[in-house]
């Protein structure tokens, strides 16, 4: 394997996110949770103030910024690398000014016509996700003839658009948008063919953590917070296929899974000979 995989710890400062809404609305609680995730192995904390769960409506930009910006400032002050999860250019600009170094836009810049110019003018890295419309409309757009080909083509074209506008290619990260205008079968097809997305060249980010299609593997009624083990396995398999990063809720479990992948490839020497010589 090459460079270590980036783990983006999810920090939703929202009341209505699908698996942890309301847990981190308090600023101090949010910061403590972020610090804990970093201690567990997160490389980046991805801070979002507006839920993008299926069916979610929009909130005022002022409310999004009220939730997000104080947390971003506190984390940056602690030396933590921060990503801001937003589709609003003004929120992205304010977060960058506060020290965020990545803009994670689930619309890939399509929801706000000012986002492209902001990214061109900034030094921030930009996550370009496959997107077919806002959360309250995307379920009706989950129709494809060839989901892998269409997602790869869309992201290739969108990256090219941004590069032509002046974005440094090295600042782009691609995301297939699992669960966004995609059903479970679409998500698994995309995961089985991550190599086609990785082959485009830019780093690839995968965000499968706790999503509904993961829950489909578990007994009916299993709460989203109990989907972390299969989520960690998906993350490990994605890393095996060459992705740059994974966006997760349970950092500690994911770190363990990625350590297994690293050891599998001979990249983790810790304790390699400790247990050799027999079985207990």
Read off the tokens for 182. Answer: 């995609």
* 67, 132, 210, 211: the active-site residue: 211
How far lies 130's CA from each of 17, 71, 85, 97, 187, in Å?
20, 27, 14, 26, 12
Between helix 147-165 and helix 184-192 the angle, nearest 10°, is 70
Residue among 71, 73, 79, 81 at smallest CA distance from 98: 73
211 is catalytic: yes
Residues 6 or more apart whose CB falls under 8 angstroms from that of 19 comprise 210, 223, 224, 225, 227, 249
Point out which residues pair with 246 in neighbouring strands: 7, 206
Phi-psi region of 99 (alpha: psi -120 to 50; beta: other; left: phi over 0): left
* Helical ranges in the chain per DSSP H: 27-40, 61-77, 89-97, 115-121, 147-165, 184-192, 194-198, 212-215, 228-240, 251-264
Annotated catalytic residue: which of 125, 210, 247, 255? Answer: 247
165 is an active site residue: no
List active site positions. Answer: 211, 247
């Amino acid at each position: 394997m090459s460079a270590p995989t980036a783990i983006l710890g999810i920090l939703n400062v929202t009341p209505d996110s699908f698996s942890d809404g309301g847990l981190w609305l308090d600023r101090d609680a949010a910061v403590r949770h972020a610090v804990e995730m970093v201690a567990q192995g997160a490389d980046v904390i991805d801070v979002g103030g507006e839920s993008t769960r299926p069916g979610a409506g929009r909130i005022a930009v002022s409310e999004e910024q009220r939730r997000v910006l104080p947390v971003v400032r506190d984390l940056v002050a602690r030396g933590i690398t921060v990503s801001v999860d937003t589709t609003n250019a003004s929120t992205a600009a304010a977060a960058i000014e506060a020290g965020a170094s990545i803009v994670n836009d689930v619309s890939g810049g399509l929801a706000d016509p000012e986002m492209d110019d902001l990214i061109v003018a900034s030094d921030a890295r930009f996550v370009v996700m496959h997107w077919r419309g806002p959360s309250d409309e995307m379920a009706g757009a989950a129709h494809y003839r060839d989901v892998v080909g269409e997602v790869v083509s869309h992201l290739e074209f969108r990256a090219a658009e941004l590069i032509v506008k002046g974005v440094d290619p090295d600042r782009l990260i691609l995301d297939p948008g699992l669960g966004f205008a995609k059903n479970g079968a679409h998500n698994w097809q995309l995961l089985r063919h991550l190599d086609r997305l990785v082959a485009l060249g830019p780093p690839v980010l995968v965000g499968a953590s706790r999503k509904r299609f993961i829950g489909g593997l578990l007994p009916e009624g299993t709460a989203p917070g109990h989907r972390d083990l299969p989520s960690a396995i998906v993350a490990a398999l994605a890393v095996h296929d060459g992705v740059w990063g994974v966006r997760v809720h349970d950092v500690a479990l994911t770190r363990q899974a990625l350590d297994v992948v690293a050891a599998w490839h001979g990249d983790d020497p810790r304790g390699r000979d400790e247990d050799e010589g027999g079985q207990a």
